[in-house]
Amino acid sequence: MLNPAMFPVMAVVGAIAANLTELVRGENSRWQPAMEIGVRTFSLAIAAYTVLWFALLTAAVYAGGDADVIAGVEVLGIFLLAMGIYSLFHLSRFIGSKLQLWIYRLALPLVIGGSFLVCKFG
């Protein structure tokens, strides 16, 4: 079983994944049409989006160790639930453009840190 302290960590990673998915699809301009994303910010966000899926797989594999497959399934389930809720209710409309830029900029360290925490303490 997954450590209950890791539930919010995976929920945050799932929300970041949904947020980055909107950026990749170009849906972010619907809620912030005037927001300008620089090349460095966009590059960091795309790197985070790429690393996210490998980090998720790694966290799910290492969460339960050799004996507990359920913990890995819980990691994936919580991630998908958070991503689905974020996308279904369009929660990005509640985020301002300045905060949105900082989410894009900090997505890579947040994803790596969250996956590390789940691997270490999950």
What pLDDT shows up at residue 76?
A: 93
- For residue 122, pLDDT over 90 is answered with no
Rounded distance, CA 29 to CA 43, Å? 17
- For residue 2, pLDDT over 90 is answered with no
State pLDDT tens for residues 90-107: 999 999 999 999 999 999
Q: Which domain holds residue 85?
A: 4-121
Tokens of 114: 């969250």
Biggest alpha carbon distance in the chain? 50
Phi, psi of 37 (to 5 degrees): -105, 125
Number of domains comprising the chain: 1
- For residue 19, pLDDT over 80 is answered with yes
Total Cβ atoms within 10 A of residue 1: 10
Tokens of 60: 């799910």
State pLDDT tens for residues 24-66: 998 888 888 888 999 999 999 999 999 999 999 999 888 877 7
Rounded distance, CA 75 to CA 69, Å? 10
What pLDDT shows up at residue 20?
A: 95
Mean residue pLDDT across the chain: 92
**Helix, strand, or coil (residue 113):** helix
What pLDDT shows up at residue 64?
A: 76
Task: Show the 3-state SS of 19-83.
Answer: HHHHHHHCCHHHHCCCCCCCHHHHHHHHHHHHHHHHHHHHHHHHHCCCCCHHHHHHHHHHHHHHH
